[in-house]
Amino acid sequence: GWKMEDVLEEELKIIKETVGPDDHVICGLSGGVDSTVAATLVHKAIGDRLHCAFVDNGLLRFKERARVMETFEKDLHLPVTCIDATEQFLSKLKGVTEPEKKRKIIGNEFICIFDAFAHDLEKKLQRKPLYLVQGTLYPDVIESCPPPGSGRTHSHTIKSHHNVGGLPKDMKLKLIEPLKLLFKDEVRELGRIMGVPVSFLKRHPFPGPGLAVRVPGDVTEGNRLDILRKVYEYLFLKYTQCNNIQLFNVFFCRLWCPYQADDIFIQAIKDAGIYDSIWQAFAVFMPVLTVGVQGDQRTHSYAIALRAVTSHDGMTADWYYFDHKFLADLSTRICNEVQGVNRVLLDITSKPPATIEWE
């Protein structure tokens, strides 16, 4: 509609006025809708004086890195450097079990990496990048720091979203946050009118700390991340093999399927009018060993919890009602195909009292 087009014009104007004609800007791309739309907006305003970095922190979903890099380069023509920092992140997270500490460590590592990225760029360009683009949304702002009189009762931080207020004081970069007054649907609309592929804009949100907040406790212990990735992988395989699979798989797979391959599904979902009714769906690794019996073997393995919610803005959410037969099949297949798992749970908690993520 007319409203978002006005927002677009206004944002482009502000960015052009803010960023001088010789100034350079950096941006961290997460692979999500918010940072992608923010970067596309800035790229539209200042062209290749924008320099993006995508960091693989070892906490991404299955094949995520290859998929998003392809989107950035082929569809959006964004100037992106891919940085593999898996070792750096996982070594810092080793032995850490406290949720807030995990988030802080991940946030700090991102900052270190961007600092290094900015310094490399400075050498290359012979001038300092002056600005940093962030895809902060309105709900991120109020949830990390509720404004006075907003009616929210908590005075402490529920969860430290690393993309809000987490920059060190000695970092000389100024922030550009073009989405900070917008809600998610508005960001999608803004992306759409700028030509970001609709299939990409429909991606479910994925948290900055990645699988770390879906593996309670120490993420580096045993093969926890691998087990979680295998659940995603299994769903991916099922998705590509079969056209009429049910809702949950579709949404699971939407998290990371190459969108070139899932046109049919997206269309089917749209036709059925159900795609937009799920906000997020994902698996959570349960760091609990329980006894099972698989084949004629007694097992002592982990559990997987399935989480799917409906929401409008991520601030409140309801758990999603699934068909029982579908859940039964899913459970059987996960136990059969994902080594190290002998139990599947369904999270039936809304937000509040729970949050969407588990940490």
Give me the least distance between CB of 312 and ligand XMP, in Å please. 11
Under the criterion CB under 6 A, does residue 109 sit at the interface with ligand XMP?
no
Residue 32 in marked binding region? yes
Region 150-169 residues binding ligand XMP, contact defined as CB under 6 A: 159, 161-163
Q: Are 37 and 136 in contact (CB under 8 A)?
A: no
- Per-residue contact string for residues 239-278; x = within reach of ligand XMP by CB under 6 A: ----------------------------------------
Tokens 């004609």 correspond to 21
Give me the least distance between CB of 243 and ligand XMP, in Å please. 29
List of residues 6+ apart from 237 with CB closer than 8 A: none
Q: Are 84 and 56 in contact (CB under 8 A)?
A: yes
Give me the least distance between CB of 356 and ligand XMP, in Å please. 3
Q: Which of 129, 208, 210, 216 binds ligand XMP (CB under 6 A)?
A: 208
Q: Which of 314, 341, 342, 344 binds ligand XMP (CB under 6 A)?
A: 314
Paired tokens of 45: 């305003």
Number of residues that bind ligand XMP (CB under 6 A): 15
Paired tokens of 79: 């100037």
Under the criterion CB under 6 A, does residue 205 sit at the interface with ligand XMP?
yes
Q: Which of 31, 207, 210, 216 binds ligand XMP (CB under 6 A)?
A: 207
Q: Are 114 and 27 in contact (CB under 8 A)?
A: no
Q: Are 33 and 189 in contact (CB under 8 A)?
A: no
- The rounded distance, in Å, linking the Cα atoms of 221 and 231 is 18
Alpha carbon of residue 86 to chain centroid: 17
Give me the least distance between CB of 285 and ligand XMP, in Å please. 16
Q: Are 208 and 357 in contact (CB under 8 A)?
A: no
Binding residues for ATP are 30-36
